[in-house]
Chains A and B, each alone.
Chain A
Amino acid sequence: MNNTISLKEIAHARSGDKGTGANVGVIAYTAAGYAFLEQELTSERLTKHLHELHPQGVQRYSLPGIRAYNFVLPSILDGGASRSLRIDSQGKVLALAVLEMQLPRPENLAQMQPKSHQS
């Protein structure tokens, strides 16, 4: 058995721009998944995953009512919507890349997956 999982197995996400930076909100499917993300989906791990965008000072905020963590990534959009030289100048697709992050496989993975997604 593979000893890692993709974040997308236990969460969904959305991203967008914040001036010259971006935010990514990651929403766990279940309470067990939210508790796991508290330990595993750290600012450090996200910084490492997106290292080619040179994130600095990544902040993590919690929204327990919807089991979500919001990450604010200052100045990663290469100048922001109008000055960025990148195709995704507004950070719209960052969320999908974040959902591809690999995390250690939890023992209670089934408790973190929504029923509709289990195969």
Chain B
Amino acid sequence: MTSIRVGNAAGFWGDNLDAPRLLCESGQLDYLTLEYLAELTLSILAHLKSRDHNAGFVSDFPTVVESLIPQLRAQPNLKIVTNAGGMHPSACAAAVSGILQKAGMNDVRVAAVAGDDLLPQLDTYLAAGEPFQNLETGEALDQIRPQIASANAYLGAAGIVQALRQEARIVVTGRVADASLTVGPAVHEFGWDWTDWNSLAAATVAGHLIECGAQATGGMFSEWDRHGAPLALANVGYPIAEISDGGDVVITKPSGTEGAVTVATVAEQLVYEIGDPAHYLTPDVDADFSQVTLTQIGEDRVAVAGAQGGPAPENFKVSLAYRDGYMATGSLVICGRGAIAKARACGQIILDRVARAGVHLQRTNIETLGGGDSVPGGWPDRPEPWEVVLRVTAHDPSKPNLERFLREFAPLVTAGPPGVTGYTGPRPKPYPVMAYWPTLIAQTRVTPQVEVRAAGDWTR
């Protein structure tokens, strides 16, 4: 094959449930990718798995597969690659296989790619001298060791390629680098060598551009309303990367959909959540995005060229989450003249009353939404609003302390300044905080584990 079409229809867990079906119906895809795992999603899945040994994966995915049964029948070459496996790829593969069995598609081969979960071996690695220092702060791991909830290496494309070579049609992984969901299919189809750095970099830039779904096709676009009419997005098309065996990349979307694929929308996604553009690091390649060029070659078609690659880093990035107390947020609407100042006063009354009750909260923050606090100090002169949302947030090791804090919002309606409203619905509850600890592990210590079976042979 000389080129493939890879479409991505999920940029996070909770993205539009209809997008995979709509993209497959009109996208003429060879591969559908679905990216579900944000930094801390795995810690939530670890918690679910601890309560139910069949859980721990992205539960949306079997529902999505069910919606795709007609497309899987009509398009025999369509394959799916997703990190929906989360903390439990084999359970996810089994759940998906159950859907396929019900549809009479027992022959479809389903792969589970695991090996990213470091938690069972964490103490062994520590004893062997892996420091797991925090990449941002340099702190040593031992101070939070008892609170660790999950620790997963970002695997590369190798496990996905192994699965595709064993004729898997649906590949379910745990944590892999987002771009590797796209790199895997390209390496499999074109037989690229793992040292063909420029080709790996080209597929990596393609994966980076589509991994956040509609953010490449007009979602989040900062020029949304600057071209006359606002850009229509209700029926936004999700992105497709056409990748050739020579490493040429075109970003596009299905015809007949809304949104836009222009040099401007793609450029915004190229810079999304990157650090040094000369070193976009994945387990597959050290990709240089800095010289990338974008060219409009047709309606909703943008050619991406100029990505360069170098040898992959020796370490895998590790995403580690640890329990860090509780947070709670309450809000009220504050109306009338001087709303911003009044809201700040109300927030301070809440904190003063909590302190009077003998509760000393570790971290607190008062915000006036409508008063510019989404980026404090970052907005220019604004007219004085007649109503703002007061939002007060606290973080503390003690859940009872936060429950006490949340009791102080309702009394402000009757025992505070005039013009306080918007206290409806049940009282909010404190929720547990998972904090993020970015770190590294030597690639040599981690091996992907790949299991491929026909759907009829996967059972829970």
**Interface, chain A (partner B; CB < 8 A):** 6, 8, 12-14, 16-21, 23, 25, 27, 49-53, 59, 61-66, 68, 70, 72, 74-75, 78-83, 85-88, 92-100, 102, 116-117
What is the bound-complex CA distance between A82 and B39, given in angstroms?
A: 10
Contact partner of B376 (CB less than 8 A), chosen from A8, A52, A102, is A52
Q: Is B459 an interface residue (CB 8 A)?
A: no
Q: Are A61 and B276 in contact (CB under 8 A)?
A: yes
In the bound complex, residues from chain B placing their C-beta under 8 Å from that of A92 are 220
In B269-303, the 8 Å CB interface with A consists of 269-278, 289-294
**What is the predominant secondary structure among interface residues of chain A facing chain B?**
mixed
Q: Are A66 and B227 in contact (CB under 8 A)?
A: no
Q: Is B143 an interface residue (CB 8 A)?
A: no
What is the bound-complex CA distance between A68 and B38, given in angstroms?
A: 26
In the bound complex, residues from chain A placing their C-beta under 8 Å from that of B367 are 86-87
What is the bound-complex CA distance between A58 and B245, given in angstroms?
A: 39
- B235-243, B398-406, B433-441 - the one binding chain A: B433-441
What is the bound-complex CA distance between A23 and B274, given in angstroms?
A: 7
In the bound complex, residues from chain B placing their C-beta under 8 Å from that of A116 are 227
**Apart from A66-B292, A70-B277, what are 4 other A-B pairs with CB-CB below 8 Å?**
A53-B377, A61-B276, A81-B38, A86-B367
Q: Are A14 and B269 in contact (CB under 8 A)?
A: yes
In the bound complex, residues from chain A placing their C-beta under 8 Å from that of B276 are 59, 61, 72
What is the bound-complex CA distance between A16 and B269, given in angstroms?
A: 10
* Nearest CB of A to B389, in Å: 9
Question: What are 8 A-B residue pairs whose CB atoms fall within 8 Å in the complex?
Answer: A18-B273, A61-B278, A63-B277, A63-B291, A65-B290, A65-B292, A68-B270, A100-B378
Contact partner of B380 (CB less than 8 A), chosen from A21, A51, A78, A100, is A100
Known contacts: A23-B271, A50-B375, A53-B377. The answer to whether A85 contacts B393 by CB under 8 A is yes
* Nearest CB of B to A63, in Å: 5
Interface centre among A17, A49, A63, A86 (most CB of B within 10 A): A63
**What is the predominant secondary structure among interface residues of chain B facing chain A?**
loop
Q: Are A97 and B379 in contact (CB under 8 A)?
A: yes
Known contacts: A14-B268, A81-B436. The answer to whether A98 contacts B378 by CB under 8 A is yes
The 10 closest A-B pairs by CB, nearest first: A25-B271, A97-B378, A52-B377, A85-B365, A97-B375, A14-B268, A16-B273, A52-B376, A65-B293, A85-B393
Q: Are B363 and A61 in contact (CB under 8 A)?
A: no
Q: How many A-B residue pairs have CB under 8 A?
A: 156
Q: Are B374 and A23 in contact (CB under 8 A)?
A: no
Q: Is B424 an interface residue (CB 8 A)?
A: no
Q: Is B306 an interface residue (CB 8 A)?
A: yes
Q: Are B271 and A96 in contact (CB under 8 A)?
A: no
Q: Are A87 and B294 in contact (CB under 8 A)?
A: no
What is the bound-complex CA distance between A49 and B376, given in angstroms?
A: 10
Mask, B216-249, CB within 8 Å of A = 1, is: 0000111100110000000000000000000000
In the bound complex, residues from chain A placing their C-beta under 8 Å from that of B378 are 49-50, 52-53, 94, 97-98, 100
In the bound complex, residues from chain B placing their C-beta under 8 Å from that of A53 are 375-378
Interface centre among B39, B227, B267, B369 (most CB of A within 10 A): B267
Q: Are B436 and A14 in contact (CB under 8 A)?
A: no
Chain A residue, CB-CB nearest to B279:
A61
Q: Are B272 and A16 in contact (CB under 8 A)?
A: yes
Mask, B355-389, CB within 8 Å of A = 1, is: 00000000111010100011111111000000000
Q: Are A51 and B377 in contact (CB under 8 A)?
A: yes
* Nearest CB of A to B142, in Å: 20
Known contacts: A14-B220, A27-B264, A82-B433. The answer to whether A64 contacts B290 by CB under 8 A is yes
Q: Are B264 and A12 in contact (CB under 8 A)?
A: yes
In the bound complex, residues from chain A placing their C-beta under 8 Å from that of B391 are 87
Q: Are A25 and B272 in contact (CB under 8 A)?
A: yes
What is the bound-complex CA distance between A6 and B263, given in angstroms?
A: 22
What is the bound-complex CA distance between A85 and B268, given in angstroms?
A: 27
* Nearest CB of A to B432, in Å: 10
What is the bound-complex CA distance between A66 and B394, given in angstroms?
A: 41
* Nearest CB of A to B286, in Å: 15
Q: Are A66 and B267 in contact (CB under 8 A)?
A: yes
Q: Are B136 and A70 in contact (CB under 8 A)?
A: no
Interface centre among A6, A18, A78, A86 (most CB of B within 10 A): A86
In the bound complex, residues from chain A placing their C-beta under 8 Å from that of B39 are 19, 81
Q: Are B379 and A100 in contact (CB under 8 A)?
A: yes
Chain B residue, CB-CB nearest to A95:
B222
Q: Are B273 and A17 in contact (CB under 8 A)?
A: yes
* Nearest CB of B to A16, in Å: 4
